[in-house]
Each structure stands twice: as structure tokens, then as C-alpha cells.
Amino acid sequence: MPSGSGKLTGRVAIVTGASRGIGSAIARKFAQEGAKVVINYNASSKQAQEIQRDIAEKGGESIVFKGDVSNSREVKAMVEATMARFGRVDILVNNAGIIFRKKILESTEEEWDRTMDVNLKSVYLCSKAVAPIMIQQKRGKIVNISSISGLNGPPSALEIPDYTASKAGIIGLSRALSLNLAPLINVNVVCPGATETDMLGTMSEERRRVRIAETPLGRFGRPDEIAAAVLFLASDDSDFVTGETLVVSGGRPQT
């Protein structure tokens, strides 16, 4: 049996972008708490399979689904596969995301479009796909992963225009969804600060030093720390919380 406290026992959760980083930590945390998990990925098949094996070894249950969540057909197929296997969807975590570390004069229109598709459009498509199921069930939780780049953060968090715009869009979209889908579905946002994932591998040492200096707790976050915040918003503990943005950043930004 999973070794957690059972906060999600009997629940079915879809986690997008779950093959690595924060997404993989969320998938593992949910399984530990008793959820049946859909591990969505688009490119990292080996990593997704490793997460599934890890969950199974610990007594949990999951399926792996390859799909581009910026494509409505693939999103529909993912939700249909979830229903065919588990018969319900209780939790959706929109975590899939990409970043091109380029300022405005270096970036391309194609990179802008791809960033918006993966980071923002996917939230719309996946939420729209699961909402009718959750409404029929009379209950559901949607947690969207944004970033402090979507807030009024320090300059270092705002230097990439397409990423910043997409993450700010997630916050606005989530507020609208929380109204559209109330009272049966709770929709909330988690905004991580700089977190130790492979996404930071593309960051220069100087940029890393700046971000740590801006963080009162003096370090980057860990994926499991972000997952713990997501668990709160996905569990019964947050039943009276919707339309909110939870910042998990070690105190950064300080504005």
C-alpha cells in the first residue's frame, strides 16, 4: 500500500508534464497519498516509465499516456483513456511547460507561439476536457502550475517575455475558471520560485547566483516542496479555497 496518509485515496488524478521535474514529484506524491495517477508526457518516455515502475513498487497504480496537451485531439484521447481505465477524473494538475531563455530581440514568433501553446493553451484545453466529468461527479480539483514570473516579481524573474506572459496568463485564466466552474470545481494556482529541476540546467551560474541572492531562504526549492503545496490544493484540506494563487518561492519575490 502507498506509504502516505491517504489524503487522495480513491481519487484519480491527471498530471500533465509528469515525466520530469515538478510534474514527476507531483505524480509520486499523489500516488503515495493513494491516488491513481495518469502520467502524461510528450517526449520523455523512459522517464515516464521509470515513474510508473516506482509507483508500482510502492503499491500504487498509474498509467502512462503520451500526448501533446496543446493539441485538443490528444487531450481528448488522454481523458478518454483515463475514463476507460479508471472511470472518473477527480484531479487535474496542469503542469506541462517549456521555456526558451531568450529576450525579446533574440526570440522568434515560433518560440512565442509554442510557449503559449504548451504553457497556456494546454491549461484551457485540459480544463475544458475534464470539467464536464467533474461537474457530473459534483466535485473536482484543478491545480495550475504558474511561476513567480507571472507575478510582480524581481527583474530576474521577468526577463523572458513569452514565458512571463504565458505564466501571467495562467493566473488570469485560473481566476476566470474558478468562477466559471464554481461551486462544484475548485481551481487554484501554485507559483513556484526557482526550483531544482532540469529546466535550471539551461541557466548560467551567474543567473543562479542572482536568484539565490534574491531568495530570503537562501536556496532553490525542491520539487517535492512544490508537490506538497499542490497536494494541499488537490485534497479535501482546500475545499473552501478557489481562485487563489499560492506562492512557493522561499520568500522570492520581495517587492
Active site residues: 163
Contact assessment for residue 173 and residue 181, using Cβ atoms and an 8 Å cutoff: no
Helix (H) or strand (E) holding 205: helix 205-213
Radius of gyration of the chain (CA): 17
Q: In the chain, what is the straight-line distance between the N-terminal and C-terminal CA atoms, in Å?
A: 45
- What phi-psi label fits residue 17: left (phi over 0), alpha (psi between -120 and 50 degrees) or beta? left
Contact assessment for residue 30 and residue 91, using Cβ atoms and an 8 Å cutoff: yes
Please name the residues in contact with 183: beta carbons below 8 A apart, sequence gap of 6 or more: none
- What phi-psi label fits residue 10: left (phi over 0), alpha (psi between -120 and 50 degrees) or beta? left
- What's the CA angle centered on 163, arms 190 and 132, to 5 degrees? 50
Please count the helices (runs of H) and the strands (runs of E) in the chain: 8, 7
φ, ψ of residue 58 in degrees (nearest 5): -95, 10
